[in-house]
Amino acid sequence: MNALQILPARSRRDRKRFLGLPARIYQGDPLWAPALAAEEKALVGFKKHPFHAVNDAQCFLAVRGDEAVGRIAAIHNREHNAQHQDRTGFFGFFECQDDAEAAAALFAAASGWLAERGLDRIRGPANPSINYTLGTLVEGHDVPPTFMTPYNPPYYAGLIEGAGFQKEHDLWALRMTMPQMETMASRVERITQRLTKQYGLKLRTWSATPRPEELREFLGVINSSLQDHWGFVPLTQKELQRAAAGLRLLLVPELVIGIEIEGRLVGVTLALPDYNPRIKKIGGRLFPFGFLQLLARKRSIKKHRVMAANVLPEYNRAGLGVVLIHALILRARELGCQEVEYSWIAESNAASFGTLENAGAHRCRTFRVWEQFIAY
């Protein structure tokens, strides 16, 4: 076996190898869908992205001979540290052959880089933060991954544990079929009617191309609603603007729902079609014509991912989330949806998990966030 080297991915050639490694790791895997190439390039910091305007990252490659066998990014998320008043660093974008030496060396390089910046623990994977893709898939490797959720070989958990990491938190994906969702909608219809009358609720819908300020208001409700949740770090204003611009193309307006009280937006829910089968067909590349294949007849996609169902903190105990989910189910049925995945839900969010489980949803995948202290 060739000697192992850990190299910072700074040159154009090494950055290309960093971005190209997943295609080699997952060659022949029928379930894997690549990331959207342009988006991943920005998220790792190889081109402009608002996350990297205020945070630092360094990418590393594990190389044997002339072959890249692993990669990792070390991430100094200053916003997390300010929010939680700790000295946690992160790793992300981890990919590796089944090579324990290479994995351990990558984690050591990331830990060393974070230690140089005064951080005392390393957590991840965060790609590059909690507001994007998060966690390692540890259960549900036989389930096709949905859009913007993690997927990796089963051996990754062993590589990470072998490098000294322990579980920090689990995140769950729950699946429901349309018959189960229709049953749930019937159960909560009277509650929905009562709450609508009690609070004077009005549903807000968006046009086919919602204005950026509308989406920023929408995402702002999500930011506010998650303040007390595990790991929360708010999206910055520039991240909100970028997310709003990107979502405009991906959204199906019927699946973006808000509820208002006296004209104020107090709750939102968002589902996106599962674009992954289409992303596989275009190899993750939007140009020159991939975006046309990705977005054509997007309402015809039969599987949706529910990414958010949030209400402002002062209405947490009012049960308004039921109104959102009821409306979303009716809209999804009209579009011919056959199944929905709710992802992700933190294991500490017992209320949301219990509501969905009681309605018939079952846990189909588990994503794990790992952590260890950095030894100085």
Q: How far is CA 334 from the centre of its chain?
A: 26
Q: Dump pLDDT digits (tens) for 122-137.
A: 999 999 999 999 999 9
The rounded distance, in Å, linking the Cα atoms of 65 and 368 is 32
Q: Going from the N-terminus, what domains does the chain have, and what CATH number goes with each?
A: 4-172 (3.40.630.30), 175-368 (3.40.630.30)
pLDDT digits (tens, 9 = 90+) for 252-279: 999 999 999 999 999 999 999 999 999 9
**247 pLDDT tier (thresholds 50, 70, 90):** confident
Name which of 239, 251, 11, 264 is nearest 131 in CA terms.
239
- What is the pLDDT, as a whole number, of residue 208? 65
76 neighbors 227 (Cβ within 8 angstroms): no
**Per-residue confidence (pLDDT) for residue 240, from 0 to 100:** 83
Q: Does the structure show a pLDDT above 80 at 212?
A: no
Amino acid 161 reads E
Model pTM score: 0.95
Please compute the mean of the pLDDT values over residues 21-30 and round it to a whole number: 97
- Asked if residue 193 lies in contact with residue 200, where contact means CB atoms within 8 angstroms, the answer is no
Mean pLDDT of 95-106: 98
Q: Tell me, what's the pLDDT at 118? A: 98
Coil, strand, or helix at residue 280? helix
Which residue is it, tokens 């937006």?
Answer: 265
Evaluate whether 345 touches 172 at the Cβ level (below 8 Å). yes
pLDDT digits (tens, 9 = 90+) for 38-59: 999 999 999 999 999 999 999 9
Asked if residue 272 lies in contact with residue 243, where contact means CB atoms within 8 angstroms, the answer is no
Contact 367, 134 (CB under 8 A): yes
Torsion sign (Cα): 25, 27, 33, 36: positive
The CA distance from 269 to 307, in Å, is 8
Tell me what the pLDDT averaged over the chain comes to.
Answer: 94
Phi and psi of 355, rounded to 5°?
Answer: -60, -45
Closest Cα to residue 224, out of 309, 306, 310, 320?
Answer: 310
Q: What is the pLDDT of residue 43?
A: 98
DSSP per position, 282-334: HTT--TTTHHHHHHTTGGG--EEEEEEEEE-GGGGGGTHHHHHHHHHHHHHHH
The backbone torsions φ and ψ at residue 10, rounded to the nearest 5 degrees and listed phi first, read -110, -35
